[in-house]
Chains A and B, each alone.
Chain A
Amino acid sequence: MIRAHVLICGGTGCTSSGSLDIQAAFAENIEKAGLSEEVKVVQTGCFGLCALGPVVIVYPDGTFYSRVTTDDVKEIVEEHLLKGRIVERLVYNDTGDDNAEKANVNVSLNDTAFYKTQNRVVLRNCGVIDPEDIDEYIAMDGYAALGKVLTEMTPEDVIKCVTDSGLRGRGGGGFPTGRKWSLCAPNKAPQKYVVCNADEGDPGAFMDRSVLEGDPHCLIEAMTIAGYAIGATKGFVYVRAEYPIAVKRLQKAIDQAKEYGLLGKNIFDSGFDFDLEIRLGAGAFVCGEETALMTSIEGNRGEPRPRPPYPAVKGLYNSPTVENNVETFANIPQIILRGAEWFASMGTENSKGTKVFALGGNIEHTGLVEIPMGTTLREIIHEIGGGIPNGKKFKAAQTGGPSGGCIPADLIDTPVDYDNLTAIGCMMGSGGLIVMDEDSCMVDMAKFFLEFTVDESCGKCTPCRVGTKRLLELLDKITMGKGTIEDIDRLEELCNYIKQNSLCGLGQTAPNPVLATLKFFRDEYIAHVVDKKCPAGVCKDLVSFVIDQDKCIGCGMCARNCPADAITKTDYIAPGHKLPSYVIDAEKCVKCGVCMGNCKFKAIEKR
């Protein structure tokens, strides 16, 4: 009889830090300890705390081991599984309490600071069930919503339930999901489609991947429900090919669902048929735009199409189509099972439910968090995220990836929901949340995202194809110290032009990082063009490294490590020192900062 489960994260993050080896080591050690009959090893989806991976949880105790290595496995098996003694040194027990020492060693996952304020709806099964076992999903009420829908509800009931829940699209735009479905449902056509957008492409965002990897059946169930609601019998999941684990698990899940008759003909004897196929994306960001995604599924170059006609009328293969992203779908079964009211009880007035964010940047706990809409940025950063490392000050948070804007420090108490973010010129986006500390240059940040969009522009419409490139060139000029104050106006003008004139969402939102930083950090732009300084010391062309001649003891470490041979000995010996000091030739200096890192005497400064 199984008395304990060892859950090992098999998400992409932990897999890349060696969780597969750890899984093998557990199997081996458990076997050796004679515990095979008592302890089950389960590979799960992402737990969310990716920075601390590989992550292992031992149930029923719920002991949360972080940064486990294969060498630790033997100890966990012999101590914890065999003798019941928790391996304290590996336990993650940051409850957020200042007096951490007093915290119970066996802190359960849900008591840690990272998890305790989270509310996992979308991620409820991630890190809990084995995603490759349909039975485990069923055990967690899986397919019960589909059963309910097909045996008790009309398509109109389903759409009403989704509408009443207040669920809005989690892909970025925030369009009400129920309305999207109701716009498609009445359109008559021989074939309609349900499409799942799993072409997650924002830099640093990986919530959809985690759902696909950790709870693929949830998506299948939701899409089948959507198919029933709008009268579609065919669905496509468009996944980026760069998500091999997700693709493999989703395919396995589809196969299992077909085997169980949960996909295919006459599901639950209701007369409703639904079939699902995976389509792989070749890695173009623009294919996350719904019309480009459909064009890509059709086998053409992934480029957006003008709207109207909207996909609800003329979508995939010119047929009525509903397209939602993974996270949106992942809410559906729970909404059906627990009711619209339950869902609507979470969140704010116009943003219901939870939102999953991928926390990244200058923050202690990088990872995935799911919080109710309306949680303040302060809570997300300081409580869940554990604050900014190295005692640095919080400067701004970037949301919405390359389509989004930034929230400056003085708006840190903004409750995060669709409308609040839009109001400050930001956008929810798909949920990337990048935290920046005082050492970040906002012009450089805008440039980073713009470089991304310039690379990812499909090249179809003029404003995005050429306009974004010109925008980037202006930013380049500014960060190189060659900009003028007029360039800032030009920048703004071009931003607004691109926003209003581009064909699709990619172009229309591409200027957002620039516009938002211009709005909140205009002084930084001015510093770059007027003072020719980068206040954060990031823009290489605007910083110089200087050796303080009186602090330099003449050890020569800097000169030996300089890749550009830019540092030479002077004939000046500072008072109290024995050797001549060194000096940096600004002409030769490539501003890599290696000298500064090597100087033990803090004699080199960046100006």
Chain B
Amino acid sequence: MDMINLKINGIAVSVPKGSTVLEAARVAGVEIPTLCFMKEKNEIGACRICVVEVNEGRGFRIVTACVYPVTEGMEVLTNTEKVQKARKTTLELILSTHDKKCLSCVRSTNCELQKLCLEYGVDEGAFAGFKPVYELDNSTPHLVRDNNKCILCRRCVAACQEQYVGVIGANYRGIDTSIGTPFEVGLSNVPCISCGQCTAVCPTGALVEKDDTDKIWEALNDPDKYVVVQTAPSIRATLGECFGMPVGTNVEGKMVSALRRLGFDKVFDTDFAADLTIVEEANELVERIKNGGVLPMVTSCSPGWVKFCEYYYPDMIDHLSSCKSPQQMAGAVIKTYYAEKAGIDPKKIVSVSVMPCTAKKFEIGREDQSAAGVPDVDIAITTRELSRMIMRAGLNFNALPDEEFDNPLGEDTGAAVIFGATGGVMEAALRTANDWLTGKDNTDIDFTALRGTAGLKQATVNIAGNDIKVAVASGAAAAKVVMDRMKAGNPDGWTFVEIMGCPGGCVNGGGQPIQPQFVRDTVDLKAVRAKALYDQDAAMAIRKSHESPVVKALYSEWYDGFGGHKAHHDLHTSYVARNKYGK
């Protein structure tokens, strides 16, 4: 590889040709601040916070480190008075159009702007003058856009475009520039898929999940309510990040004990419903193959993906599995099977879910998601909201003991755990299908071709002597590729397709803990978080969904067989073709 030699603050470094000054500085141990930059996603040089002085033989001048390529013999100074003053002025100018309401901002203490302002000792009143005032866009159930905190870094725009959704962008110009939907119609009137990727990349509090924790506190404090919580497979792999733990720490035990200490009457694991999903879905697939149903069948666990399909491929919604998502199946089981078993009126149950996902907030309000005549899930919160509840309750998370989920809905399998990573659902389904079709208890159950963070993975797997072709996509952009192939007559011959709305699957969901961009640029969050799940799977005794004791109990005690009438009523749903441009 061609190497370029240069000096960063006098320190000689050698970096591959094509590197940026920002990357070269990291080699020299200097982290140049950035705000708008997202590697390979938003290299737009807009915020100007990363300015440095470079000399390429014609004297020092200011350039933006994030996008400026290194050249041989270049001298870079990252901390001169001029640089510091420029960065400080930039921050002060940004602040002059910012509402500066840090005290009540959920992003306080993990806000990238706030951190820099502290570091540079800004005067937040340095520039008075015209400041645009914006109304909040809280038109959707899943997030709130507050342009009064927006610094116009466009990271959300890039994230939305990466999802092939692109419903937000810059409107107006100059000082009136603001991020919004086309024609400022509000997020609920555009084909937003609720994935929340924009909230995960926002450096400030301009894009946050809609906080539903007050509703939970209210329920917890209401003696007439029976409050049950379920946690999605990926939460255990990410919640620790909110408490300063390294990325990829599995905190299942502490999470359970925290939830119990918050006052939930029962702490269940969505995993049991993931197993339930697998058996229902596997059964549906077999039925479709046998009866000449619509193929390839596509998973429906991810509400962001489902919404994407409904908006962007409305003519293809019959490819979606009719199975509810694990969240909704868990909710349905809690309000039917568990309610009856425990002798509680389903109307008294407040069913809460902790999800990696903002689209889950949308999903709970969908039609046809009320097995017991009341909504399967009442409140869906994100990993981040849960962390804030734990903090408000004064729980020293890191010091909590490890505890077990409540029974009967706390038993899980390895197959369910890996639901949180892209390819996990497919792998879990194949484990079950393989056993069923071979009639054996197979031990070679690691479908490694389906693992990894690539947006699109394809494999041909041999199940009971038959080669079947499958595809796994994560991120809506990859979903688009898959759907276009399917539309073109499915030339790849896929039978079964897993699609997740977020790149990397749930571990990288829009509701997961915020990591500052330099971490996102330097750590593969998707891979490290996923590893925690695959490690747990490998260590488990039961690694197949159909062997789940909960699943077994449900079908022996409650449901009339896989895909039976009762199961179909409670665990399946329907979809709507949505018009991207409104009615």
Contact = CB atoms under 8 A, between A and B. Distances in A.
Contact of A466 (B43, B64, B68, B97): B97
B176 A459 contact: yes
A456 interface: yes
A456 B172 CA distance: 10
B45 A469 contact: no
A440 B62 CA distance: 35
B130 A469 contact: yes
B152 interface: yes
A460 B90 contact: no
B293 interface: no
Given A473-B130, A501-B51, A466 B175 contact: yes
A457 interface: yes
B43 A458 contact: no
B175 A459 contact: yes
Contacts of A466: 93-94, 96-97, 127, 175
Contacts of A503: 45-46, 48, 64
A286 B177 CA distance: 14
A463 B89 CA distance: 9
B67 interface: yes
Nearest to B90: A462
B47 interface: yes
A184 interface: no
A459 B177 contact: yes
Contacts of A461: 45-48
A303 B129 CA distance: 25
A305 B90 CA distance: 19
A454 interface: yes
A463 B44 contact: no
Interface residues of B, number: 35
B169 interface: yes
Contacts of B170: 301, 303, 459-460
A11 B493 CA distance: 63
Given A460-B46, A463-B90, A463-B93, A470 B174 contact: no
B86 A284 contact: no
B48 A462 contact: yes
Contacts of B58: none
Nearest to A467: B93
B373 interface: no
B411 to A, nearest CB: 52
B69 interface: yes
A289 to B, nearest CB: 13
A466 B174 CA distance: 8
Interface string B67-90: 111000000000000000110011
A180 interface: no
Nearest to A458: B173
Interface string A435-464: 000000000000000000011111111110
Contact of A470 (B46, B86, B127): B127
A303 B45 CA distance: 11
B93 to A, nearest CB: 4
B62 A500 contact: yes
Contacts of B43: 306
Contacts of B96: 466, 470
Nearest to B94: A462
A590 B95 CA distance: 36
Q: Which of B49, B68, B152 has the most chain A CB atoms inside 10 A of its CB?
A: B152
Interface in B43-67: 43-49, 51, 61-62, 64, 67
A528 B69 CA distance: 45
Contacts of B173: 284, 286, 456-459
Contacts of B67: 306
Interface string A106-144: 000000000000000000000000000000000000000
Contacts of B45: 305-306, 461, 503
Contacts of B172: 459
Given A308-B68, A473-B130, A497-B86, A462 B46 contact: yes
A470 B173 CA distance: 15
B332 to A, nearest CB: 45
Q: Which of A303, A458, A465 has the most chain B CB atoms inside 10 A of its CB?
A: A465
Contacts of B47: 461-462
Contact of B174 (A305, A458, A462, A463): A458
Q: Which of B49, B90, B169, B173 has the most chain A CB atoms inside 10 A of its CB?
A: B173
A462 B97 CA distance: 10
B48 A469 contact: no
Interface in B265-297: none
A468 B46 CA distance: 15
B20 to A, nearest CB: 11
A465 B174 contact: yes
B174 A456 contact: yes
Interface in B7-49: 43-49
A211 B51 CA distance: 41
Nearest to B89: A497
B130 A306 contact: no
A396 B36 CA distance: 41
Interface string A208-227: 00000000000000000000
A288 to B, nearest CB: 14
B174 A457 contact: yes
Contacts of B69: 308
Contact of B48 (A454, A456, A501): A501
Q: Which of B48, B61, B129, B176 has the most chain A CB atoms inside 10 A of its CB?
A: B48
A339 B434 CA distance: 79
Contacts of B175: 454, 457, 459, 465-466, 469
A284 B68 CA distance: 27
Given A306-B43, A466-B96, A459 B152 contact: yes
Contacts of B46: 460-462, 503
B177 A501 contact: no
Interface of A: 284, 286, 301, 303, 305-306, 308, 454-463, 465-470, 473, 494, 497, 500-503
21 contacts: A303-B170, A306-B45, A306-B64, A306-B68, A308-B68, A308-B69, A454-B175, A456-B173, A459-B170, A459-B175, A459-B176, A461-B46, A462-B46, A462-B49, A463-B48, A467-B93, A469-B174, A473-B129, A501-B48, A502-B48, A503-B64
Given A459-B177, A465-B174, A500-B61, 15 more contacts: A286-B173, A306-B64, A459-B173, A459-B176, A460-B46, A462-B48, A463-B93, A466-B127, A469-B130, A470-B96, A473-B130, A500-B86, A501-B86, A501-B89, A503-B46
